[in-house]
Amino acid sequence: MTLQKSLLQQFFQAYNKEAEVVAYAPGRVNLIGDHTDYNDGFVLPAAVNFGTHVLASKRQDSVINVIAIDIDNQPVSFNLSQIVFDEQDTWSNYVRGTVIELLKFIKSSPRKNSVSGVDLFISGNVPQGAGLSSSAAFEIALLKAFSDLFNLSLSGIDAAKLGQKAENNFVGCQCGIMDQLISALGQKSHAMLLDCRALSYQFAKIPENITLMIVNSNVKRELVSSEYNTRRQQCEAVAQYFKRSALRDITLNELNENKQSLESVLYKRARHVISENLRTLEALTALNTHDMKLLSRLMADSHQSLKDDFEVTTPELDYLVELLSNVVKDKGGVRMTGGGFGGCVVAILPQDLQIKAKQVIEDNYFQKTGIKPSIYICTAEQGAFSL
pLDDT per position as a tens digit, 110-153: 877 889 999 999 999 887 656 677 889 999 999 999 999 999 98
Q: Are strands 72-79 and 21-32 parallel, antiparallel or unpaired?
A: unpaired
The whole-number pLDDT of residue 225 equals 52
The set of residues, in sequence order, having a beta carbon less than 8 Å from that of 237 and lying 6+ positions away, is: 266
What helix, strand, coil percent values describe the chain, rounded to 5?
A: 45, 25, 30
- Active-site residue, 89 included: no
Q: Are strands 118-124 and 63-68 parallel, antiparallel or unpaired?
A: parallel
Three-state DSSP state, 346: strand
Instruction: Indicate the residue type of 3.
Output: L
| Beta partners for residue 25, in sequence order | 52
Give residue limits of the domains in the chain. Answer: 3-202, 208-378
d(CA 55, CA 3): 12
Closest CA relative to residue 193, chosen from 278, 290, 291: 278
Burial class (CB within 10 angstroms; exposed 0-12, middle 13-18, buried 19+) of 364:
middle
Q: Are strands 210-216 and 118-124 parallel, antiparallel or unpaired?
A: unpaired
DSSP codes joined into one string, 258-280: TGGGS-HHHHHHHHHHHHHHHHH
What does DSSP assign to residue 130? S
d(CA 177, CA 312): 20
Are 140 and 384 in contact by the 8 Å Cβ rule? The answer is yes
For the chain, what is the largest distance between any 2 Cα atoms, rounded to a whole number of angstroms?
A: 67
Marked catalytic residue, from 40, 158, 179, 301: 179
d(CA 372, CA 62): 45
Closest CA relative to residue 57, chosen from 12, 19, 103, 105: 19
Q: What angle, 0 to 180 degrees and rounded to 10, lies between the N-to-C axes of helices 292-308 and 315-328?
A: 160
Query: 208-378: which CATH topology?
Result: Alpha-Beta Plaits (3.30.70)
Q: Are strands 72-79 and 210-216 parallel, antiparallel or unpaired?
A: unpaired
d(CA 377, CA 166): 30
Number of helical (H) and strand (E) elements in the chain, helices listed first: 11, 11
pTM: 0.89
Out of 3.30.230.10, 3.40.50.620, 2.60.40.1930, 3.20.20.70, the CATH code matching 3-202 is 3.30.230.10
Are 339 and 305 in contact by the 8 Å Cβ rule? The answer is no
The number of C-alpha atoms within 13 Å of 164 and in the hemisphere containing its C-beta is: 21
The whole-number pLDDT of residue 162 equals 98
Q: What is the pLDDT along the chain (387 residues), one digit of tens a residue?
A: 688 899 999 999 999 999 999 999 999 999 999 999 889 999 999 999 999 999 999 999 999 999 999 887 788 999 999 999 999 998 999 999 999 999 999 998 887 788 999 999 999 988 765 667 788 999 999 999 999 999 998 999 999 999 999 999 999 887 778 899 999 999 999 999 999 999 999 999 999 899 999 999 998 765 545 677 899 999 999 999 999 999 999 999 999 999 999 999 999 999 999 999 999 999 999 999 999 999 999 999 999 999 999 999 999 999 999 999 999 999 999 999 988 888 899 999 999 999 999 999 999 999 999 999 999 999 999 999 997
d(CA 323, CA 334): 10
The whole-number pLDDT of residue 366 equals 98
Closest CA relative to residue 130, chosen from 348, 376, 379, 332: 376
d(CA 182, CA 196): 11
The whole-number pLDDT of residue 129 equals 59
